[in-house]
């Protein structure tokens, strides 16, 4: 199975799991988001364009490709 099909299946599973469970959404926390973004910016660059060889650019990536790694950061 290609990794694109695997990512699509993961995305659909996440979507349907989110639909099945009632959620109370909290307002976004800008301070916490900025702290998480600094961890990413250290390698991927402040604007998402990395200057480090072999480190991928995050700029112009689809939102879900960035969502999963960020959600995993405590």
Tell me which residue range forms the domain holding 19.
Answer: 3-71
Look at the chain and report how many structural domains it folds into.
1
| Residue among 31, 14, 5 nearest 71 (CA) | 14
In SS3 terms, the chain reads as CCHHHHHHHHHHHHHHHHHHCCCCCCCCCHHHHHHHHHHHHHHHCCCCCCCCCCCCCCCCCCHHHHHHHHHCCC
Q: What is the pLDDT of residue 74?
A: 63
Q: Give, for all 74 residues of the chain, the pLDDT tens digit.
A: 566 667 778 878 877 777 666 656 677 788 888 887 888 888 888 888 998 998 888 888 887 877 777 777 66
For CA atoms 61, 9, 19, 34, the dihedral sign is negative
């Amino acid at each position: 199975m290609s990794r694109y099909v695997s990512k699509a299946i993961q995305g659909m599973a996440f979507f349907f799991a989110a639909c099945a469970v009632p959620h109370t959404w909290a307002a976004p926390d800008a301070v916490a988001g900025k702290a998480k973004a600094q961890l990413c910016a250290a390698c991927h660059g402040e604007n998402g364009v990395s200057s480090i060889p072999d480190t991928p650019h995050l700029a112009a990536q689809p939102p879900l490709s960035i969502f999963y790694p960020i959600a995993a950061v405590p």
